[in-house]
A and B are shown apart, each in its own frame.
Chain A
């Protein structure tokens, strides 16, 4: 079972290289047509024209675009994405500092979306043929119409502002000194055996993660339900009924396994989108991840950061897609036959 997964991983990683090259080249081109001058921005406002010219030469801005890109690529391969114009720090380091927070949020949200999608899909399917079916259908349709940033605001309003139940800014309450072992806050608090801090961090993550999870669950729900319908048209369900197996066991033990596969394919694409959705939720909850870094960079036209963060998002989406595909291979025995 391991060999096909490994070969898939190998093929995917090879295919990712040209994609990343093209994405980085596109990013580079889009950001170079900007009407801002990175050289002038990296100098104090009183700089003379001669100083700006010297800075331009030093940054290689007078060379052809292709050459500039190759120089940038050469540095990027070594992990150097240039210095942030705004923060005056290495862009790669800034991304590395914020990435763990975003990954934790995304993983938590995916777990919530998966769980809600599974339960909701089963419930919607169970309601088929009853008078509540239309209601369930309309509710899932309404849920589908609420994007993640509206969920973020709705939950913030309800649980943060009206009910005062959960914190809604940042990652930790003031007064906590976060341990830095791996960079992943939840993991660090576990390693440091600080259960009070872990609870605090989880409370801070609850609203953003649920908001994201809620936004991405309805699609999963609806696909799971329609693939359950497809599976129930198969003969083996009728046969299971004739053997006297209970409806619940047919649904959970026989049908669900088969219906899970198409849902998983879609989940791959959805989770890629979900990773992008973290950006908005992070802004709403002032959550210190890549999204806030990105929006700050966009507002300040901080090119090195936009490039590095953009590439980081792309790498994460490719990783998520590969992970879901490998899982698909593990779960689907048909694909394992050579």
Chain B
């Protein structure tokens, strides 16, 4: 890969990677670095401010929420929820969307028509509404949320990649490969996929940012993870009711979301520039 050293020299890619790695390491090492159990309640110490404030306590570095749970630990465990959704849901949506895009763009025909109409139908639904409705049907929980995001966001990959596959399929080297006796499968995996891969990687990185936001939104509305699991959106929903008493509880999870999403966006934008992919249209 000639792209990897070039990618590592780009400031955006490095900054994005640093942010994503920071959140990722917090997520992986959560049981080791979190000072408390995220579900542990301490009703004698509710709504404490962070340790640097006047009546803060060093036991709870970032204070406590309305049930006396440690905010720092909940933030760290929330990173776990956010990152697992970001990675599993995005990869799932990428697999579904890009497989359909490659098959449809390469073969065309009836399947292409059906998938194209399905994308139209999906696009006529605001993603937030569609994922809410799916969560009603599926029920709450981390796995259900991941499934809902996959079922909503596969179109983002399918739409953009399909037009790219259409362009690549017309190239002479693809015809040459067919003439050399490559099977359809070989042509797609060896000739077309390498050409669409840069776009795919960029889209994947941006989709991870989107997945973090969707996870936060669903948890905020109360249709995300189970109540006992820590999630940033849930922390925001909880802190919103006590915003006058402890504004920090609202600001910190918001900051965490912005940090994670801007990491993925910087990474995606940097990769797009480095890999020089023309993203004609890019949904949010």
Chain A positions near chain B (C-beta within 8 angstroms): 18-19, 22-23, 26-27, 30-31, 33-35, 141-142, 144-147, 149-150, 153-154, 157, 161, 216, 219, 265-266, 269-270, 272-273, 275-277, 279-280, 283-284, 294-295, 298-299, 301, 306, 310, 313-314, 317-318, 321
Contact = CB atoms under 8 A, between A and B. Distances in A.
B217 A34 contact: no
Nearest to B239: A153
B217 A276 contact: no
A23 B250 contact: no
Interface string B230-261: 00000010001001100100110010011001
Interface string B85-99: 000000000000000
Contacts of A147: 213, 216-217, 257, 261
Contacts of A283: 221
B223 A150 contact: no
Contacts of B117: 18, 22
Interface string B132-146: 111111010000000
B284 interface: yes
Contact of A150 (B133, B244, B254): B254
Contacts of B284: 216, 219, 270, 273
Given A19-B121, A19-B124, A272-B123, A34 B221 contact: no
A142 B262 contact: yes
Contacts of B217: 147, 149, 280
B283 A269 contact: yes
Given A150-B257, A294-B129, 8 more contacts: A141-B269, A142-B258, A150-B254, A273-B126, A277-B126, A280-B217, A310-B125, A317-B124
Contacts of A149: 216-217, 220
A293 to B, nearest CB: 12
Contacts of A275: 126
> Shortest 5 CB-CB distances between A and B: which pairs?
A276-B126, A145-B262, A30-B137, A145-B261, A276-B128
Contacts of A157: 243, 247, 250-251
A146 B223 contact: no
B40 interface: no
A116 B263 CA distance: 24
Interface of B: 117, 120-121, 123-129, 132-137, 139, 209, 213, 216-217, 220-223, 236, 240, 243-244, 247, 250-251, 254, 257-258, 261-262, 265-266, 269, 281-284
A34 B140 CA distance: 12
Contacts of A153: 236, 240, 250, 254
Contacts of B123: 269, 272, 317
Contacts of B240: 153, 284
Contact of A144 (B135, B236, B265): B265
B13 to A, nearest CB: 13
Nearest to A143: B262
Nearest to A144: B265
Given A22-B121, A269-B283, A273-B283, A145 B209 contact: yes
A143 B52 CA distance: 29
A30 B257 CA distance: 30
30 contacts: A23-B124, A26-B121, A27-B133, A34-B136, A34-B137, A141-B266, A141-B269, A144-B262, A144-B265, A145-B209, A147-B261, A149-B216, A153-B250, A157-B247, A157-B251, A161-B243, A265-B281, A269-B283, A272-B123, A273-B126, A275-B126, A279-B126, A280-B128, A284-B240, A298-B136, A306-B133, A306-B136, A310-B125, A310-B133, A317-B123
A119 B11 CA distance: 27
A272 B129 CA distance: 11
A284 B222 CA distance: 13
A270 B137 CA distance: 27
B129 A141 contact: no
Contacts of B209: 145
A150 B262 CA distance: 13
B133 A154 contact: no
Contact of B129 (A144, A269, A279, A284): A279
A145 B126 contact: no
Contacts of B243: 157, 161
A279 B137 contact: no
Nearest to A299: B222
Contacts of B250: 153, 157
B213 to A, nearest CB: 5
B281 A269 contact: yes
Contacts of A279: 126, 128-129, 132
Contacts of B236: 153
Kindly name the residue among B134, B209, B261, B284 whose own CB sees the greatest number of chain A CB atoms within 10 A: B284
Kindly name the residue among A19, A153, A216, A299 whose own CB sees the greatest number of chain B CB atoms within 10 A: A153
Contacts of B223: 298
Given A23-B125, A153-B236, A310-B129, A295 B221 contact: yes
B258 A277 contact: no
Kindly name the residue among A33, A145, A306 whose own CB sees the greatest number of chain B CB atoms within 10 A: A145
A283 B233 CA distance: 13
A265 to B, nearest CB: 7
Contacts of A269: 123, 281, 283
Contacts of B220: 149, 280
B133 A161 contact: no
Nearest to B240: A153
A78 B81 CA distance: 45
A163 B74 CA distance: 29
A150 B136 contact: no
